[in-house]
Chains A and B, each alone.
Chain A
């Protein structure tokens, strides 16, 4: 046997160690997970489920199971119900489709989504609100979904008009299909109303009443506030005020800012008085801060979406909900929602599989279940008239939007940017006490600059 000298053996050992470290480093960067949505496993067909609607003009059921990767940001309590619905679909569907859901915080989803689409590793189905979807629609990263109704045989007329409207581009192409719709409503704490000598069953009907009630409820010694006036992270609470008083933000037909108007300046001056002088709201607070205050019973009124309902019920807050108060000219309710979209890179087979899941989601049973559990108004006409829906005081109140509900900044791809870069900083400056006319003029100019980038 040849005896290797000790020094030479040591050197050989060192070289082996270094080379293996190099290999380990290069192996670390590899992505060994399969491309999302491409897993195909063969399974025995499931028994027919009574959950899916009877009529079905879908393409022939694929022989191999098609996996649909689905990203969304439902990290709250509604996420648990969503998981349950997806699991039930996976167990019972006869479409040979499996939905693999990935729930993450919204900001993480928006960070991950663009590079994943760019590198063809994105999901096959994604849920988000229309404002966030606009840039993807504009650069054709989200696919048109007009063929959903013909492929699946779903009756388009069964959907509420506003639920389809918010998912359309400016030319009317359907890029999003409704997952949930909501308006922005006024929530009020009945106990605080009663303690302040107000009728707990009667919400303020006008902006003057809103200001009066807010001032009566505010009590700094108890850390109690009359009205939420957040500066970010919430639906734009002041849009009903501006529009109700005859003002507006953008002339969407001519792509021009109309923010700088006497009506808007008067409305924002009124709002400044509420925030700065009457101190009806904690200064500089975000939507999340206001949610906490409302759920801890320290806030009288909050104009926000139905996602607050679960938290209010869990914290035993006796609350009422109604449409926001009317302005001097009209009443405006913003309609919003979350829709399903299919990103670029999804194959035709995966898209059709996604359609099957969306069809299941849009069935009367699931729409009603989601609506009653989360307090969101249903987006199917038939479900709106369902006795159980009508009997729920919260859901029926939210459903009664009438003709006043419409999307804000409909069809603009820069909607999110206008909201975050202009309108929120504007309201923050107004509520901090800066000169309203100057702030509004600057904001209007900024909106015009942003609108120049609209195609």
Chain B
């Protein structure tokens, strides 16, 4: 007993005690639900937990022929691979501009970061008011300048782009902060040497800033991609997956299948979740491999 207690007195032993609370939370709210989802995905089960039975791969087979599932997956990919590059590019451009430590630029950093600290649900509600074709402020100003009142969230062609713009506006501040930290860690001597060699600002940016930012960029790209693939809140609040299922993403479909409408098929909803998990894992590992390779190549 004393031996064990002595172990916890050493720094490496004490470390385990310090991370124990976080591990317990992770276990209860992430690991156990994940394992439960994997189990439920092979069951035929509804939300009332009555009469659950083993169904093997039936739920996964159902996915292949489900048009609505593939539509949701397509919408999810559309959202992710438009929103993520837009957000990163905007964050990078703004980060370069506000990375200098002047008072004005520090204030700008705060202003750009502010939307990120607001609740996504609250932001989505406000944006749905602003974009309302009858009563919205943005549509009113379109009318004032002689343009037609666009039905942003009701037009099948404009609904997803509107949600993408809202999400980029809300999230780019977070990526910007990470990239600013990365930019500020680049030694000035590199830029000075490049200036002496006659490199333009653009050349300095592409040959010094970008390569040195690979670790920060990879973090931003991967985390933004994971978050975008799981998009739910803003779609639930604004369009509920409409119009004509043009904004229904995989997580929205999971919610609608398992929790919103009869027969509250938790088994099938869990199977959809598992398929999304696999997609996210594959994309994340691929991106990780790509950026690791890039980092190593640039170092060499």
Contact = CB atoms under 8 A, between A and B. Distances in A.
A283 B260 contact: no
Contacts of A293: 134
Interface stretch (A107-115, A145-153, A362-370, A393-401): A107-115
B111 interface: no
B47 interface: yes
Nearest to B5: A15
Given A139-B48, A432-B243, A453 B261 contact: no
Given A284-B155, A416-B261, A420-B261, A425 B244 contact: yes
Contacts of B117: none
A25 B262 contact: no
A139 to B, nearest CB: 6
Interface stretch (B20-28, B164-172, B190-198, B226-234): B20-28
A428 B243 contact: yes
A413 B262 contact: yes
A134 B262 contact: yes
Contacts of A416: 261-262
A22 B9 contact: no
A interface bracket (residues with beta carbon within 8 Å of B) = 35 or more
A164 interface: no
B263 A429 contact: no
A421 interface: yes
Majority secondary structure, A binding face: helix
A402 interface: no
B111 to A, nearest CB: 33
A445 to B, nearest CB: 11
Given A18-B20, A25-B24, A141 B48 contact: yes
B264 A114 contact: yes
Given A135-B262, A282-B134, A421-B261, A21 B242 contact: no
A414 interface: yes
Given A11-B9, A283-B151, A21 B21 contact: yes
A30 interface: no
A118 B49 contact: yes
A283 B150 CA distance: 10
A450 to B, nearest CB: 10
B244 A428 contact: yes
Majority secondary structure, B binding face: loop
Interface residues of B, number: 36
A283 B135 CA distance: 14
Interface string B234-256: 00000010111100000000000
A448 interface: no
Contacts of B9: 11
A293 B133 CA distance: 12
B89 interface: no
Nearest to B18: A18
A114 B242 contact: no
A117 B20 contact: no
A358 B240 CA distance: 35
B245 A425 contact: yes
B48 A284 contact: no
Contact of B47 (A29, A118, A421): A118
Contacts of A414: 262
A11 B126 CA distance: 51
Contact of B264 (A135, A223, A284): A135
B134 A139 contact: no
B269 to A, nearest CB: 13
A231 interface: yes
Contact of B134 (A22, A289, A421, A428): A289
Contacts of B259: 111
A232 interface: yes
A139 B135 CA distance: 44
A115 B258 CA distance: 12
B154 interface: yes
A21 B18 CA distance: 10
B17 A114 contact: no
Nearest to A285: B154
Contacts of A18: 17-18, 20-21
A450 B24 CA distance: 43
Contacts of A141: 48, 50
Given A22-B20, A283-B151, A292-B134, 10 more contacts: A11-B9, A18-B17, A21-B21, A22-B24, A115-B47, A135-B264, A282-B151, A284-B242, A417-B262, A420-B261
15 contacts: A18-B21, A21-B21, A22-B24, A25-B25, A117-B48, A139-B50, A141-B48, A232-B240, A293-B134, A413-B262, A416-B262, A417-B261, A421-B261, A428-B242, A453-B263
The 9 A-B residue pairs with the shortest CB-CB distance, nearest first, are: A284-B154, A135-B262, A114-B47, A118-B49, A417-B261, A284-B243, A118-B48, A18-B17, A21-B21
Interface of A: 11, 14-15, 18, 21-22, 25, 29, 107, 110-111, 114-115, 117-118, 134-135, 139, 141, 223, 231-232, 282-285, 289, 292-293, 298, 413-414, 416-417, 420-421, 425, 428-429, 432, 453
